[in-house]
Amino acid sequence: MAVDADVRAPAAPLAGALGTRLRRFGELTREVLRNPTTMIGLALIVGMIGMAIFAPLLIEPNTPNPYQMPRDWGALNEPPGTPGHILGTTQQGGDVLYGVIWGARTSLRLSLIVVSITVVIGLIVGSLAGFLGGKIDEFLMRLVDIFLSIPELIFALAIAAVLGPSFGNIILALAAVFWVKYARIIRGQVIHIKQNEYVDAARVIGDSSLRIYSKDVLPNSITPVVVQATLDMGNVVLIGATLSFIGLAEAGLAEWGVLVSQGQAGISAGRWWASTFPGLMVFVWALAFNLVGDGLRDILDPRTETKR
Amino acid sequence: MTFASAPEPAVDTAGTVASVVGLRVHFESKAGRVHAVDGVDFDIRDGETLGLVGETGCGKTVTARSFLRLVPMPPGVHAGGSIYFRPHVRCSNCSGLGCDVCAGTGRLPVACGECAGGGCPHCDDTGFETIDLSRIPERQLREIRGDRIAMIFQDPAKALNPALTVRSQIAEVFSQHRSDEVLELAGLGTSRNPLLRRHVSQTTRLFERWLLALPPMRSQRRRIEQVIDGMVAAALAETQIPNPAKVMQRYPHELSGGMKQRAMIAQALACNPDLLIADEPTTALDVTVQARIIELIKQLQVRHESAVLYISHDLSLVRRVCDRVAVMYAGRIVEIGPTEEIFANPLHPYTRGLIAAIPSRAHDRGQLVAIKGTVPELIDPPPSCRFVQRCSYAVSICGEIDPELASGPGRHAAACFIHNPPEDAAELPSFSRVTT
Amino acid sequence: MQIRDYVLRRMMVLPILIIGTSLIVFTLTRVGGSPIGIYLSHEMTPEEVAEVEQRYGLDEPLPVQYLTWAGGMLTGDWGWSGVAAAPVRQVFPDKLGATMELAVAAGIVAVALGIGLGTYGGARRDRLPDHLTRVFSISGAAMPIFWFGILLLIVFWVGLGWAPIGRSDADIFQSIAHPTGLYTVDAVLAGSWNALVDAIWHLILPAIALGFGTTAIITRMMRSSLVETMGEEYVDAARAKGLPEKLVLRRHARRNALIPTVTVIGLSFGFLLQGTVVVEIIFRWPGLGRWMADAVLRGDQATIMAYVMFTSVLFLLVNLVVDVMYAYLDRRVVLGA
């Protein structure tokens, strides 16, 4: 049954990929604003990142290393509410609020560095595997499978153990573990694009592999990579704090996991605050990024896109 | 209650198996209230095939699903009207095989409960039991679903559960509606064991299912399974599926599209329903298979003497299959009548456009005719005729009032001022005057 | 039959993955620390050290060293644990029992509760029970296990003085025999009510701490899977056949919704294993996880290597089983449909 046939020229697949993305960005922000849980997550993220960035303004940085917990020998184990120490102090006289705020800064550094490194590594490995195919692809994907067969925390634990306990090594360990998902995503995209007919069309026109790559693979991969990166921003801190909790970071570091660990000793004596507040921050951080990541995933899911 | 439809023809022996009266089904959405079905009236006569045609979004699927209350009720809302149904039972004289008493159909309409056939307001003086499908309690509706009214869905790949064999899915119908018969055939009819009865009718509780797994019950269970196997095989054989015993052990994805649809048809006709609702049964199939399935449905319909409500968007297909056709547009019936009359003399401008759009030898090669415009927004529709934007013959009155379905020449009815002009209209539309 | 082929194919890949993992573990240890560390203990004399060096061929080229180590893993020589001051192989079973008991308890609760809550919420989509279960599942997935464990301790141990720390009361524990290594099972076998109560009493808090996150993940997967299944055409078709809603839910919706959930259950096993490390530290549970944590802090390479190999192999096996179950449940997977 023919209804008024509004015949348009098929959208040029090569030129459109990036442009469509940008147009969708506007719709995307509108969708995000409509979803309450995502908004809450976003608000929390903004709050915590703000806390991290403005840390020196919010609370006097410790000297010489602001990332080390300050020690106030005159105020050991103070409960929350004591003047000057709203959230109380630790067994070494460290201000819990200081740990919370500067811990945010530490976490931000950790997650940004790790996520950046892993995205890049995943991009490289995934592209190589996808484009080159054959034995190299098989080898790399086997490698990815092997990495995935070791549970994340345990793998990171082993690597950090081998490298030696330090925060820098935690960063390396996490990077070594978290890159695999991106490799898979990118490789999947490359293969999908390779099989697509319009790549053959592009080749016929004479587009080089590089152009195809930047015009089609990258823009189409942005979505799942962004979703994964958002979720990882949360999970990296979660696992990083766990590693620090177990003891793989330097003692006295202004980091949430370290603080929770050191606060453990006081629990039997009823001193709950040194562990509770930093731990709460880890939870809120992971929660916020998970909320936003999930919200993004729901919005960007190709199935929900076509429903509109 | 009045049945707004075409006047009864001079000789009409068929009873009415279902009547849709003023049906309104709306949907609450973020944008507003969508009037998907907005005042639909038609009858389905016993043994006939009624086609319900229209383009995507006209409300035909919602209408069809409303018979069995399959429209999800949030966001859907039953905004008015009723669907009346006259159930039949197996003719006791011939046990469903066909005789003079039941005019060969094997089924007799149930006598009205209030007046026992004498005639009363409850049954509109017909003497037959009439049920309002849109209002009866769920429990009663469930007895009708699959038994008196059955449905064939558009895409058999989606409408069959991929995790269950064909046999188990068809068996469900027998278990649900023919459990007594199953027990009889298994020789367990006189069994006083309530557990067994519940097992057959699928109403067991959790721990009862464990009990049934125990050895003592095994031989009885096996007999029941065998009986059901036989019934399922018979149902499949009817749809001309080769080797039914093997096919029924298969999973849906192992069958071709045509076979899947046959299985679904077998499932629908298993209990000899009075009314079969076929929602675009061939749309998802290859063209070559389509013809065979249509033939099959027609044969089976004749054999079971059931009425068929045939939903389609394909006019040419409907012409081959249906006795009468109802054309639907934007939630309303715009034309209804015997198939040949509709095709020979379409009354409504929309129907005219549809028929003209069917590619045929009458058209010049390379030319496709289309109806200009698109289906209107169904959110809070204005009081005008719904087709006014696309109609080539519209005049001012068409934009102000919505015409009712009323009889035109011949045995068919249309909702258009061309055939039923309002009394005080300034100017009247007509096919001889093209206004746009 | 096709399923058999599928299973065989998956099983053939398994050894490759295990070997690959062992290579990575081996490489890790060669990257840092003394290569002979795993076979030595502090008490050995220089002569014994030299003898160990020769025995394990540590002057040999790397590939040979790898083969020696791998051979040792397969034959039962897992090296010496500095932390436990004993051969790894000797200490392993007891600690394995403790961890398995904890993980299985948490796992059973997580699966049962997760499927139940997910179905409950999914069947009542967008109504209050659904919103509550969704809040639970999102917060559960983001919950740091170490924090949750400590909170539980603060509330229940310090605050209310209910549940105890550790695995058992030493006296009661020693009063019964331990054939299986699982305290609860041993208590039942020994017919000791005291022991059973003691076992469960100590098990509750750590199991909750461990299982919380996993329950959340399974709940969420089950819920979304069920919602998706309820929207499928065959569910409507089942209703159209006149089946009661409970039967539609049970046989058509939930069974199909379980299929993707099963894979999540497999993955969440890895989550559980990871969690044991932290939970055992906090609750002073004498299992593999705590041993690993100590090993990590004190450079006990033998333990680290054995633990990583063990968890990886276990994880791989569990996922294999899950994938086979998935293929069995969803026949389309086998055909690659």
Determine the Cα–Cα distance for residues B126 and B120; give it in Å rounded to an integer.
8
Chain C environment of B73 (Cβ under 8 Å): none
- Interface list for chain A against chain B, based on CB atoms closer than 8 Å: 1-5
Contacts of residue B314 in chain A, CB cutoff 8 Å? Answer: 1
pLDDT in tens, B158-213: 999 988 899 999 999 998 998 888 888 877 767 667 777 777 777 777 677 777 77
ipTM of the complex: 0.84
C196 CB within 8 Å of a chain A CB:
no
Structure tokens that stand for C36 in this block: 């002979």
Contact C311 A286 (CB under 8 A): no
- How are strands ordered across the β-sheet holding B16-29? B32-45, B16-29, B76-85, B131-132
Size of interface A-B (CB pairs under 8 A): 24
Tell me the chain B residues in contact with residue C239 when contact means C-beta distances shorter than 8 Å.
68, 70, 145
In chain C, which residue's Cα lies nearest the Cα of A173?
C28
Task: Give the model's pLDDT for residue B266.
Answer: 93
Q: Which residue has the higher pLDDT, B392 or A260?
A: A260
First to last CA, chain B: 40
For residue C74, count other CB atoms closer than 10 A to its CB.
9
Q: Which residues in chain A have Cβ-Cβ distances shorter than 8 Å to B360?
A: none
Q: Where are the domains of chain B?
A: 13-157+270-338, 165-250
Class of domain B13-157+270-338 (CATH, top level): alpha beta
Residue A145 contacts C where some CB pair is shorter than 8 Å: yes
Measured in angstroms, the CA of B249 and the nearest CA of chain C are apart by: 13
Distance CA C121, CA C132 (A): 8
For chain A, domain boundaries = 86-307
Instruction: Classify domain A86-307 by CATH architecture.
Output: Orthogonal Bundle (1.10)
B-chain residue closest to C229, CA distance: B161
CA atoms within 13 A on the CB side of C130: 12
Span between the terminal Cα atoms of chain C, in Å: 16
Contact state of A2 with B371 under an 8 Å Cβ cutoff: yes
Is the CB of C144 less than 8 angstroms away from the CB of A37?
A: no
Question: What per-residue confidence (pLDDT) applies to B96?
Answer: 61
Q: CB-side exposure of C64: number of CA atoms within 13 Å?
A: 8
Contacts of A153 in chain C (CB under 8 A): 274, 277
Partners of B160 on chain C (C-beta within 8 Å) are 234, 237
- Residue A304 predicted with pLDDT over 70: no
Cβ of C21 and A162 within 8 Å? no
Q: Which of C141, C151, C281 sits opposite A276 (nearest CB)?
A: C151
Q: How confident is the model over A142-158, as pLDDT tens digits?
A: 889 889 888 889 999 88
Only one residue has tokens 């000791």, namely C192
User: CB of B277 within 8 A of CB of B309?
Assistant: yes
Name the A residues in 175-234 with CB < 8 Å from any C CB: 234
Inform me whether the pLDDT recorded for B24 exceeds 70: yes
Do C151 and A164 count as a contact with CB atoms less than 8 A apart?
no
Model confidence at B275, pLDDT cuts 50, 70, 90, reads very high
For residue B89, the model assigns a pLDDT of 77
CB–CB of A2 and B369 under 8 A?
yes
Least confidently predicted of A19-28, A280-289, C36-45, C280-289: C36-45
Find residues 118-177 of chain B whose CB sits inside 8 Å of chain C: 142-147, 150-151, 153, 155, 158-164, 172-173, 176-177
Q: Does A88 touch chain C (CB under 8 A)?
A: no
Q: What is the SS3 assignment for A153-176?
A: HHHHHHHHHHHCCCHHHHHHHHHH
* DSSP conformational letter for B128: B
| pLDDT tens sequence across C192-238 | 888 888 888 888 889 999 999 999 999 999 998 998 898 899 999 99
Q: How many Å lie between the alpha carbon of C260 and the closest alpha carbon of chain B?
A: 13
Alpha helices in B5-79 (DSSP H): 60-67
Query: pLDDT tens digits for B366-418?
Result: 666 677 777 777 887 888 888 878 887 877 778 887 888 777 666 788 888 87
Give yes or no for residue B5 having a pLDDT over 60: no
| A149 and C CB contact within 8 Å | yes
Mean pLDDT, rounded, for C28-33: 69
Q: Is the peptide bond before B75 cis (omega within 30 degrees of 0)?
A: yes
Average model confidence (pLDDT) for chain C?
Answer: 83
Whether chain A has a CB inside 8 Å of the CB on C221: the answer is: no
For chain A, where are the alpha helices, taking DSSP H only?
Answer: 13-34, 36-53, 55-58, 96-132, 134-149, 152-163, 167-178, 180-195, 197-205, 209-212, 218-246, 256-263, 273-300, 302-307
pLDDT digits (tens, 9 = 90+) for B81-107: 999 898 877 777 776 666 777 766 667
| B173 contact residues in C (CB cutoff 8 A) | 241-242
Minimum distance, in Å, between the CA of residue A171 and any CA atom of chain C: 16
> What does the pLDDT average to over C181-188?
81
CB contact residues (below 8 A), chain C span 132-171, against chain A = 138-139, 141-147, 150-151, 153-154, 158
Give me C3's structure tokens. Answer: 């399923």
Q: Do C144 and A279 touch (CB under 8 A)?
A: yes
Q: Which residue of B has its CA nearest to C230?
A: B72
Interface of C with B in 241-300 (CB under 8 A): 241-244, 247, 251-252, 255-256, 259
DSSP string covering B153-177, please? -S-HHHHS-TTS-HHHHHHHHHHHH
pLDDT of residue C144: 93
CA B248 to CA B254: how far, in whole Å?
11
Check CB contact under 8 Å for B145 and C241. Answer: yes
- Rounded to whole angstroms, how far apart are CA atoms B148 and B107? 11
Query: What does the pLDDT look like over A211-223, one tens digit per residue?
Result: 666 666 677 777 8
Global pTM value: 0.80
Q: How far is C326 from chain A (nearest CA, A)?
A: 18
pLDDT digits (tens, 9 = 90+) for C75-123: 887 877 877 788 888 888 888 988 999 999 999 999 999 999 998 888 8
Measure in Å the smallest separation between the Cα of C243 and chain B Cα atoms. Answer: 7
Report the pLDDT averaged over residues C287-297: 90
Q: Which of A2-16, A55-69, B143-157, B218-232 has the highest mean pLDDT?
A: B143-157
pLDDT level of residue C150 (50, 70, 90 thresholds): very high
Q: What are A244's two structure tokens? A: 């620090």
Residue C177: exposure state from Cβ atoms within 10 A (0-12, 13-18, ≥19) = exposed
Which of B192 and B280 is assigned the larger pLDDT?
Answer: B280
pLDDT of residue A290 exceeding 70, the answer is yes
* Interface-testing mutation among B371, B392, B436, with chain A (most A C-beta atoms within 10 A): B371
C333–chain B nearest CA distance, Å: 11
B254: which chain C residues are within 8 Å (Cβ-Cβ)?
331
Token pair listed for C249: 């839910």
Q: Is the pLDDT reported for residue A66 higher than 60?
A: yes
